[in-house]
A and B are shown apart, each in its own frame.
Chain A
Amino acid sequence: DIQMTQSPSSLSASVGDRVTITCQASQDISNYLNWYQQKPGKAPKLLIYDASNLETGVPSRFSGSGSGTDFTFTISSLQAEDIATYYCQQYENLPPMYTFGQGTKLEIK
């Protein structure tokens, strides 16, 4: 099974800061990597799909990059409403299997 290692597990930053979260796969997953935002008490929300594609309606300050085993999620200028836990998620097709990273809890400094 493919393991996903997400770091850091928590992060404190100031409004306006550039924030970066990384996700590493235990083996090559091409670009089969998505990113989600989960605000407290809410369901997760898809932000980035296939490593670098912005989901419709998601602000452009969110971005993703990477391929193979190493992936990065970036918020270019942190806003107060971005306080949430962020998860990476990889997928395999044969057979279908989905694995989430452990999550990164983002707080305002």
Chain B
Amino acid sequence: EVQLVESGGVVVQPGGSLRLSCAASGFSFDDYTMHWVRQAPGKGLEWVSLISWNGGSTYYADSVQGRFTISRDNSKTSLYLQMHSLRTEDTALYYCAKDIRGGNSRFDYWGQGTLVTVS
């Protein structure tokens, strides 16, 4: 069974930094592109970042480019999101999500999310 478990969300002051983690299990983690997607309270979904299966390629939404860094440790089957220069508009539930094998197209499994509050 695929499981994605996020952690690391806390209350942080504007301008602060935070690192989110996502522990993956139940699938061959190093075969898949992984994503972070966020959802502000009461709002819709926003894609944040992706990392390829080997970490060789990373992409970001314009809203976080230059402030957030996605990484992964395949030996620990874990995904990370390092967040710097946090703004109040970064307040959201952050989900990690798995893509399909060989693709960069859709999010077929999601974690339950970790809440980041910038205040």
Contact = CB atoms under 8 A, between A and B. Distances in A.
A, B bound: yes
Interface string B79-119: 00000000000000001000000001111101111000000
Contacts of A32: 105
A76 B60 CA distance: 37
A44 B106 contact: no
B107 A100 contact: no
Interface string A84-109: 00010101010111111111000000
A50 B113 CA distance: 25
A100 B40 CA distance: 13
Given A89-B106, A97-B59, A43 B45 contact: no
B88 to A, nearest CB: 21
A100 B105 contact: no
Contacts of A43: 95, 110-113
A62 interface: no
A93 B104 contact: yes
Nearest to B109: A46
A34 B105 contact: yes
A101 B111 CA distance: 21
A49 interface: yes
B108 A46 contact: yes
24 contacts: A32-B105, A34-B106, A43-B95, A43-B111, A43-B112, A43-B113, A44-B95, A44-B110, A49-B105, A49-B106, A50-B105, A55-B108, A87-B45, A89-B107, A91-B104, A93-B105, A96-B59, A98-B47, A99-B47, A100-B44, A100-B45, A100-B46, A100-B47, A102-B44
Interface of B: 35, 44-47, 50, 59, 95, 104-108, 110-113
Interface of A: 32, 34, 36, 38, 42-46, 49-50, 55, 87, 89, 91, 93, 95-103
